[in-house]
Amino acid sequence: MKQYELTKDAEKDLREIARYTLNKWGKRMLHEYRDGLEKTFQEIGNRKISKKSFSKAFPELLVSKYKFHYIFYLFNDLKKPVVIGVIHEKRDIVNRLSERLIQE
């Protein structure tokens, strides 16, 4: 059973990562990267990963990193963490997150 939840935005991010990785690096790298992200999500859910608060304005927003992607998540009432974004380190993170945080 998964120890975390993904929002629709996070699922969309993962589809974009999969398409890019497949086109750029091939199937083997797609599976390797996807498995690494999944392991990181499980570690987040099991609270076995280092995390940082993303900003003072949103102290409840936590962030961890897997290779080239930042994983942003919230804990909702001590239940499963909710992943709201998986964003590449070279993207405009603040703009991509701003709409998602308003929805939450």
Model confidence over 55-72: pLDDT tens digits?
888 888 999 999 999 999
Average pLDDT score over the chain: 91
Residue 99 belongs to a domain with what CATH number? 3.30.2310.20
Q: Which residue has the higher pLDDT, 66 or 95?
A: 66
Measure the N-to-C terminal CA separation of the chain; round to a whole number of Å: 24
What's the whole-model pTM score? 0.89
Rounded Cα gap, residues 56 and 23, in angstroms: 37
pLDDT interval class at 40 (50, 70, 90): very high
* pLDDT cut 70: percent of the chain above it: 95
| Phi (first) and psi of residue 5, to 5 degrees | -125, 150
User: Could you list the residue range(s) of the whole structural domain that residue 13 is in?
Assistant: 5-103
* Cα radius of gyration (the chain): 13
What is the number of domains present in the chain?
1
Residues in Cβ contact with 38 at an 8 Å cutoff, skipping those fewer than 6 apart: none
- As to burial, measured by CB atoms within 10 angstroms (0-12 exposed, 13-18 middle, 19+ buried), residue 5 is middle
